[in-house]
Each structure stands twice: as structure tokens, then as C-alpha cells.
């Protein structure tokens, strides 16, 4: 199902995705940047024909921006209009102001609404960027899939959404949350799988060039770098090389296009001079021996 959406994965990841769907458990995905964590949720929602609802986490994210807010500006206008017309019935106005018309639904509440297509895919992306109070709140929300809005009442999901959480592991996520989920570490793909990914995402690249690109990036990942290139960088780089009509790698081409795979000056500086040539020779030797 995932491969129909162009998502390439091994048996281990496919199994854990299957189990999470079968058992209705949230799936917690950890891994380096750009290895395809977010993409799994996108592929899953496309494959199942479900709506994708994304909660992008950041420092300072709190329950109110994750669940619901009142549309304060619209409420003010309604109050002013009522005042001006002089017909303000206070209790009716109060009920109206805190009713569905003035409720702004945020991702967690949206995910609890009934959807004719079936329960949506709820992607809680980059969970490690939030702080612990929000995590504790999330733990509760994920256990019963209901929220209480004092003015309206309790809203409960008719069927729980499919939940995918991702983290880049800039900090450890609390055990209590992990315990509710199935866990999978999304690793860098091996040579064959990365070639497959490249064929799926940049099919214009010729086989010989794809092999060189992947072998070089794989070689680069074994170096001591501040930030290793992810799969996203491999795909970007291939597209850059195609745009330059490159047919085969050379140290010059590599140094001209390094900005597509390395994003830190210290890492880029390491590859100047003979280093790029050494890595390229090593990559070619790997292709020949494969």
C-alpha cells in the first residue's frame, strides 16, 4: 500500500505500520532529519483516502493552540454590533458568542470530528520540540480521544483517528507517552533501498548517475560530520545534478553543488581539496564491488 504511494520501506517498517492500524495504537517514529518520517503519514493518508491533519509542534505550543480557540475578534464585532443596535439580550448573546460559530477548531479537535471518509490520520510532527507540560496533556488526549470545552460540553471522537507521532530525538520523549505507542526507529536506508527511493522520487535520473549519487552520499554518512545528509538531501542533490545536465560525478561538480547535501559551513569546508575525490573514488569502488 505504501509503495503504491511511492513510499519505499522495508518489512520492519511495513509491519509496525500494519500493526498500528490493526490494533489502533499510535505509531511513534524516531530518526534523523530527512529520513522519511513525516512522509509516512502523508503516504498513509493518501493510500487510505483519509484526511491528513497535521499538528506541527514547536516550543511553547500549548493546549489552546492545539485543541481550540475562541475567535476573539469576531466575538468583539458581534458584541459591538449588538450594542449599536441596542437590542442586546445578554444571555442569548452569551450563548451565541460561545457557540460553534465562534469556535476555531485546531488540529486535535478536528481529528475528533466525524469524517465520512473514515477516521483521519493525525500527524503530530516533531514532538521533541514541545515542552513536557504539553506532552502530559497529549498523553491524556491520546488515551480517551475526547476534549471538554466548558461552554459547549464534551466532544468525543466516534472512532479514534490514526495517530502518527514523529521526533528527531533532540530530547527524549517521556516513557509514559512512548508506552502508549508502537515504536520504530527510521534509519538511513541501505544502498539498494536508497536507489529505489531515488527511482521513485527522481525517476529522470539515469541508473549510472543514481548509483554514483547514492554511493557518494552513503560514503559521506560514514564521515564525521556535524549534520549527515538525509534521504531528502539525496533527492535534492539528484535534482540539482539533473538541472545541470550532469551525467557523471566529478570532484568539481561535487564541490559546485555541495550546498544541496551539506548545510553547515564546517562540513562543507571538510570536503574541499582532495577529500571529495577520495570519497568519490571510495564510492566508485563500492559500486564496482557490489
Ligand X SMILES: Nc1ncnc2c1ncn2[C@@H]1O[C@H](COP(=O)(O)OP(=O)(O)OP(=O)(O)O)[C@@H](O)[C@H]1O
Chain residues that interact with ligand X, rule: CB under 6 A: 6-9, 31, 33-39, 166, 168, 197, 200-201, 231-232, 235
| Phi, psi angle pair for 105, to nearest 5° | -85, 130
What's the min distance (Å) between Cβ of 193 and ligand X? Answer: 7
- Residue among 166 and 218 whose Cβ is closer to ligand X: 166
- DSSP, collapsed to helix, strand or coil, labels residue 262 as coil
What's the min distance (Å) between Cβ of 267 and ligand X? Answer: 16
What is the spatial distance between Cα 234 and Cα 247, in angstroms, rounded to a whole number?
Answer: 16
- Residue among 93 and 240 whose Cβ is closer to ligand X: 240
Q: Which of 35, 88, 46 minimizes the C-alpha distance to 197?
A: 35
Residue 39 interface partner, choices ligand X, Mg ion, none, CB cut-off 5-8 Å depending on type:
ligand X
User: Measured at CB, which residue is nearest to ligand X?
Assistant: 36
- Residue among 38 and 234 whose Cβ is closer to Mg ion: 38
What is the spatial distance between Cα 227 and Cα 236, in angstroms, rounded to a whole number?
Answer: 16
What is the spatial distance between Cα 271 and Cα 264, in angstroms, rounded to a whole number?
Answer: 11
Residue 36 interface partner, choices ligand X, Mg ion, none, CB cut-off 5-8 Å depending on type:
ligand X
What's the min distance (Å) between Cβ of 30 and Mg ion? Answer: 11
**φ/ψ bin of 273: left (φ > 0), alpha (ψ from -120 to 50), beta (otherwise):** left
What is the spatial distance between Cα 33 and Cα 31, in angstroms, rounded to a whole number?
Answer: 7
What's the min distance (Å) between Cβ of 18 and ligand X? Answer: 16
Q: Are 66 and 110 in contact (CB under 8 A)?
A: no
- Residue among 126 and 267 whose Cβ is closer to Mg ion: 126
What's the min distance (Å) between Cβ of 38 and Mg ion? Answer: 3
What's the min distance (Å) between Cβ of 110 and ligand X? Answer: 21
What is the spatial distance between Cα 123 and Cα 107, in angstroms, rounded to a whole number?
Answer: 9
What is the spatial distance between Cα 256 and Cα 205, in angstroms, rounded to a whole number?
Answer: 19
9-38 residues in contact with Mg ion (CB under 5 A) are 38
User: Measured at CB, which residue is nearest to Mg ion?
Assistant: 38
167 lies in the binding site for Mg ion (CB under 5 A): no
Residues that bind Mg ion (CB under 5 A): 38
Amino acid at each position: 500500500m505504501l509503495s503504491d504511494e511511492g513510499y519505499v520501506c522495508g518489512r520492519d517498517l511495513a509491519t509496525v505500520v500494519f500493526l498500528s492500524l490493526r490494533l489502533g495504537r499510535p505509531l511513534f517514529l524516531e530518526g534523523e532529519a530527512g529520513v522519511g518520517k513525516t512522509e509516512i503519514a502523508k503516504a498513509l493518508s493518501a493510500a487510505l483516502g483519509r484526511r491528513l491533519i497535521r499538528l506541527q509542534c514547536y516550543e511553547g505550543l500549548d493546549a489552546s493552540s492545539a485543541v481550540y480557540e475562541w475567535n476573539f475578534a469576531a466575538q468583539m464585532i458581534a458584541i459591538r454590533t449588538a450594542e449599536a443596535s441596542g437590542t442586546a439580550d445578554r444571555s442569548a448573546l452569551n450563548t451565541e458568542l460561545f457557540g460553534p460559530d465562534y469556535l476555531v477548531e485546531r488540529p486535535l479537535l478536528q481529528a475528533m470530528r466525524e469524517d465520512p471518509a473514515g477516521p483521519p490520520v493525525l500527524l503530530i510532527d516533531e514532538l521533541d520540540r514541545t515542552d513536557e507540560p504539553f506532552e502530559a496533556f497529549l498523553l491524556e488526549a491520546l488515551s480517551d480521544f475526547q476534549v471538554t470545552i466548558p461552554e459547549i460540553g464534551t466532544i468525543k471522537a466516534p472512532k479514534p483517528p490514526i495517530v502518527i507521532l514523529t521526533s528527531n530525538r533532540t530530547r527524549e520523549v517521556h516513557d509514559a507517552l512512548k508506552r502508549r505507542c508502537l515504536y520504530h526507529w527510521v534509519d538511513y536506508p541501505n544502498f539498494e533501498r536508497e536507489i529505489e527511493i531515488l527511482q521513485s522520487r527522481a525517476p529522470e535520473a539515469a541508473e549510472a548517475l543514481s548509483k554514483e549519487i547514492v554511493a557518494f552520499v552513503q560514503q559521506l554518512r560514514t564521515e564525521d560530520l556535524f549534520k549527515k545528509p538525509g534521504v531528502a538531501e539525496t533527492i535534492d542533490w539528484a535534482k540539482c545534478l539533473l538541472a545541470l545536465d550532469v551525467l557523471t560525478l566529478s570532484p568539481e561538480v561535487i564541490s559546485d553543488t555541495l550546498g544541496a547535501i551539506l548545510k553547515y559551513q564546517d562540513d562543507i569546508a571538510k570536503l574541499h581539496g582532495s577529500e571529495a575525490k577520495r570519497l568519490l573514488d571510495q564510492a566508485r569502488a563500492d559500486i564496482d564491488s557490489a
